[in-house]
Each structure stands twice: as C-alpha cells, then as structure tokens.
Amino acid sequence: MTKPQKQTFTFLSRVAPYGSNRPQLCLDAALAAAVFEQQVNYVFMEDGVYQLLKNQDGEAIQAKPIGNALETLDLYGIENVYVCNAALESRGLSLEDLVIEPKLASSEELKTMLSASDNVINL
C-alpha cells in the first residue's frame, strides 16, 4: 500500500491577537495539519504580526495571548513560520520584538509560496 502524498497547507494569520477567535483557529488548524504529517507554512501578515509580540498580557480583558503557544510550533514539526516584512515595517516592529523568530518574507516570496501551496487557509 502506498502512502498518501503530502500536501502543502499555508495558513495566513491576519488579525490581531484579541477580539476574535481566528488566531486560535488558525493555530489549531495548523497543528492538526502537522499532526497528520502535512507540509505546513504558517504566515503572519497584516495585524496578525501583533500575535507575535513579546510580553503580551490579556488578563485585563480575560484573554490568553497566543504568543506562548506559538513557541511550540517546532515541536509539531512546523518549521516554516514566516512574517511579512512589509507588515512588520509598517507597524514599526522588528524581529527583536517577537516571541519567536520567524523567517522574513517579502510580498513576492509570499505570492510564490501561495501559488505553490495545495491549500491556503486565510484566517
């Protein structure tokens, strides 16, 4: 019996860490794909880059920051974690501000990645 071919899933996380369940849904879906040994690209863009900020405290609004959970991505075999360089720059952020160290990706690199993906999940 032959193994099913791996598919590439690219997850786009675009929203701020609070006020929506979309960041958690994106993380859960990416982890599920990784558990089933699919190739996973995890991309933070637009306001999604705020999910990556260090020292977040959502206690005042009774929300858990997602940043701590993102530190476990490599445990699930998710090594292709990217942040849109333009999104960081437009918000005055740098890699030193982030809880994990994603790879920087330009708009062109992201377009190429999306074109090569079998599945794109936009949250």
For 45-67, the pLDDT digits (tens) are: 999 999 998 887 666 555 666 76
Q: Give residue 88's pLDDT band: very low, low, confident or very high (50, 70, 90).
A: very high
Evaluate whether residue 85 is within a structural domain: yes
Q: Is residue 67 part of a domain?
A: yes
Residue 90: give the domain boundaries: 8-122
* 70 Cβ contact partners less than 8 Å away, ≥ 6 residues apart: 27, 51, 52, 81, 99, 100
Quick check: 8 and 37 in contact, CB under 8 A? no
Mean pLDDT to the nearest integer, 113-122: 97
**56 occurs within a structural domain:** yes
Q: How many domains does the chain have?
A: 1
Q: Is residue 2 domain-resident? A: no
1 within some domain:
no
62 falls within a domain: yes
Residue 116 lies in a domain: yes
Question: Is residue 14 pLDDT above 70, yes or no?
Answer: yes
Beta-bridge partner residues of 44 = 13, 83
Is residue 3 domain-resident?
Answer: no
Higher pLDDT, 19 or 28: 28
CA distance 123 to 43: 10
Mean pLDDT across the chain: 89
Q: Is the pTM of this model over 0.75?
A: yes
Return d(Cα 55, Cα 71) in angstroms, integer: 13
> Which CATH number fits the domain that encloses residue 101?
3.40.1260.10
